Amino acid sequence: MKNNMITAILAASMALSMGGMCVYADETEAGTEAAETAYTESPDGSGLLEDGVFSIANECGYAPYNWSQPDDSNDSVPIEDTSEFSNGYDVMIAKKICDAYGWTLKINRLDWDSLIPAVQSGQVDAIIAGQSMTAERAEQVDFAGPYLYASIVVVTKQDSKFADAKGISDLGGGKCTSQMGTIWYDTCLPQIKDADVQEAAESAPAMLMALETGAVDYVCTDMPTAQGAVAAYPDMKILDFSGSDDNFEVSDEDINIGISVKKGNTALKDEIDAVLATMDKDDFDDVMADAIAIQPITNQ
């Protein structure tokens, strides 16, 4: 485990305390006013959440978005009903939201397929788990954000026969997979002509292990997950076909990553959006870089 590398980032992101609310040093004036308005108009002193606890869920196993670890190093947060702790990009963003309203962060570890039902039932307040803001999901939940913009890439081994591919048309005949329930598996892999698509992996770590062990020739994922993969596995390589005519065809909803709340919970969505409005793409990328730098290798 590396030393605490995000303390400086977190310290720099918080300035004066105003009525129980932290204001970020790099906020624009408009963004600051939006966050302040959302806070002061809330019905109680801790924002919309009556108990002042912001309960979120993710897999705690999807580095660099989220992961679990045995200790509280790097300002990790306890995972409910376990002796473990969680950190990652999702946790860092959740902390910023909590700092803005004086909320306490509570993290629940759930399987990927259990995330949306958890927010629909009210088990948790929000899902912060690297979810693409697809139209299908938007029928089930409301999305705040985006809180990240993640392009789609391919990851293969450095010594793979596909390592020099210049576009998806060069990937034909290769064994491939991705994580179940994602646009990578359902939308992107079918676009590769003559690809030998294998059964979907249950998780991102399982997807990467299939590549590492040679069960597949390449996997499809988003750029942050790929960056985390090559940091953990130096023998892997990212194939980014951005700017090429021979690339995956995806929409904004496929690459925009959002925070889901219960359908109709407009007030909480607006409060989250007010905080996210104080950040831009470069800010999101900087936080993601910090998450990648401290991710434990065992979570890949």
- What's the Cα-to-Cα distance from 249 to each of 34, 66, 117, 239, 257, rounded to whole Å? 35, 27, 29, 15, 17
Q: What is the pLDDT of residue 296?
A: 86
Phi, psi (rounded to 5 degrees) for 197: -75, 120
Residue type (1 letter), 76 = S
The gap from C-alpha 108 to its chain's centroid, in whole angstroms, comes to 15
pLDDT score of 283? 97
pLDDT (0 to 100) of residue 253: 87
Domains of the chain: 7-149+256-299 (3.40.190.10), 152-241 (3.40.190.10)
Q: Are 254 and 132 in contact (CB under 8 A)?
A: yes
Cα(109)–Cα(116) distance, rounded to whole angstroms?
13
60 near 298, Cβ under 8 Å? no
Indicate the pTM of the whole model: 0.76
Q: What is the CA radius of gyration of the chain?
A: 19
pLDDT score of 254:
86
Amino acid at 268: L
Tokens of 257: 């990553």
- So what's the pLDDT on residue 14? 35
Per-residue pLDDT of the chain (300 residues; tens, 9 = 90+): 333 333 333 333 333 233 333 322 333 344 444 444 443 334 333 447 878 999 999 999 989 999 999 999 999 999 999 999 999 999 999 999 999 999 999 999 999 999 999 999 999 999 999 999 999 999 999 999 999 999 999 999 999 999 999 999 999 999 999 999 999 999 999 999 999 999 999 999 999 999 999 999 999 999 999 999 999 999 999 999 998 999 999 999 889 999 999 999 999 999 999 999 999 999 999 999 999 999 986 555
Select from 154, 151, 161, 201 the least CA-distant residue to 177: 201
Secondary structure percentages of the chain, helix, strand, coil, to 5? 40, 25, 40
Identify whether the C-beta of residue 298 lies closer than 8 Å to the C-beta of residue 163.
no
Taking the CB of residue 84, how many other CB atoms lie within 10 A of it? 18
